[in-house]
A = this chain, B = another copy of it.
Amino acid sequence: MSHLLNDLFLRACKRQHVERTPVWMMRQAGRYLPEYRAVRSKTDFLTMVRTPEMAAEVTIQPVDLIGVDAAIIFSDILVIPEAMGMDLVMEESRGPRFPQPLRSSEQIDAVPVADPEKDLRYVLNAISLTRRLMGGRVPLIGFAGSPWTLASYMIEGSGTRNFGVIKTMMLDEPDALLRLLEKLSVSVRLFLEAQLAAGADAVQIFDTWGGILSPDHFKKFSLDFLADIVARMRRDGAPVIVFSKGAQGTLRDIATIGADVVGVDWMVDLAEARELVQDRVALQGNLDPAFLYANPDSIRREVHSILRKYGKGPGHIFNLGHGILPDVPPDHARAMVKAVKELSPAMHGTAPL
């Protein structure tokens, strides 16, 4: 960690003492920033993802503009299915789509495991470039989607309210689905390892759709694969964060798979969660992203409430409970970050900085 000028985030991941609670925001390199929209206006989303100079530029923007304590590489969870040979279409109005979703056991068996060194080289290059350009100001986070979440997109083909196709496969052809999840697990693990090798300081797995499953189905079709990834990953001490949205009912299980940090959404009571995970892991979260629409005084009050919920001592990384919304005023994001920086030293026995 010696290359870093600010390693608060990494120390908090390891539940070591920090002078104040570190803060970053999921989807912080995003549309709420006019500076992001300026880059985006010149090209399309996937070209930004695939062009290391552009990806690095928008990755660093929130470090400069909002003052966050970690950067997360600008990319998308769907780069893995694409690297597995699926045609990915991104349309602003409709959201991402796979026009040829996987609907049969045969289609699933024809899909190869991803080769990140070859097919996701552009992400690895973006990471190396970002790290060089940041000059150690803050840590850089790499990421991937969870096997269950990626399988949902690959099988449904597009956004869905009810996940009827994948849930039908889950009940009627569980073995086919499990074979796909196996391939995704290997792909995700290799990709995360490659991101660490390219210069990422930590990695996060986004299990965006884990919360649409019953606890038993979640364990069998999502958590077991997350556990497998974390157990096998070569990471040389680099922190792993697991974020399962909507997983308040299975938090205790998630905390046992060997991740350093568990991300929690705003439906989780942080005090109860801390009690539940018994300091086995650090917790990351969990301001309701919609609260950034409120005025800065209200935002400050809610930040304070969350800091107190977690309570004193190490192991809290402040974040939103989900990605920042695209129409939030940047000043409101800054108000949140400022509040964390001003109010959190008291949680660590430190005078306000």
A→B interface (CB under 8 Å): 162-165, 167-168, 171-172, 211-216, 246, 248-249, 266-269, 272, 286, 288-291, 293-295, 298-299, 301-302, 305, 325
Which residue on B lies nearest to A325, using beta carbons? B162
Q: Tell me whether B167 and A269 are in contact (CB under 8 A).
A: no
Per the bound structure, the CA–CA distance linking A211 and B321 in Å amounts to: 14
State whether A162 and B290 are in contact (beta carbons under 8 Å apart), knowing that A248-B248, A249-B248 are contacts in the complex. Answer: yes
Is the beta-carbon distance between A298 and B171 smaller than 8 angstroms?
Answer: yes
Task: Write the nearest CB–CB distance from A239 to chain B, whole angstroms.
Answer: 26
A216 to B302, CA, bound (A): 11
Among B211, B215, B267, B291, point to the contact of A269 (Cβ < 8 A). B215
Q: Which of B214, B267, B302, B325 contacts A288 (CB 8 A)?
A: B214
With A163-B290, A214-B286, A249-B268 already in contact, 6 other A-B pairs whose C-beta atoms are closer than 8 Å: A167-B291, A167-B294, A171-B295, A214-B269, A215-B272, A216-B305
Q: Which residues of B contact A286 (CB under 8 A)?
A: 214
Copies of this chain, how many? 2
Other-chain contact of A249, B165, B213, B267 (Cβ < 8 Å): B267
Closest beta carbon of chain B to A109's beta carbon, Å: 21
Given the contacts A216-B269, A295-B172, A167 and B248 also touching, CB distance less than 8 Å: no
A290, B301: Cα distance in complex, Å? 39
In the assembled complex, how far is the CB of residue A322 from the closest CB belonging to chain B, in whole angstroms? 9
Task: Name the residue on B nearest A165 (C-beta).
Answer: B293
In the assembled complex, the Cα of A130 lies from the Cα of B215 at a distance in Å of 38
In the complex, what distance in Å separates the CA atom of A162 from the CA atom of B320? 13
**Chain B residues near A293 (CB-CB < 8 A):** 164-165, 167-168
Nearest residue, chain B, Cβ from A322: B162
Known: A162-B325, A269-B214. A294 touches B249 (CB 8 A): no
- Distance A164 CA – B328 CA, assembled complex (angstroms): 10
Question: Chain B contacts of A212 at CB under 8 A?
Answer: 267
Q: Bound complex: CA of A215 vs CA of B309, how far in Å?
A: 12
Measured between C-beta atoms, what is the minimum distance from A334 to chain B in Å? Answer: 17
* Chain B residues within 8 Å of A167, by CB: 288, 290-291, 293-294
Chain B residue with minimal CB distance to A287?
Answer: B214
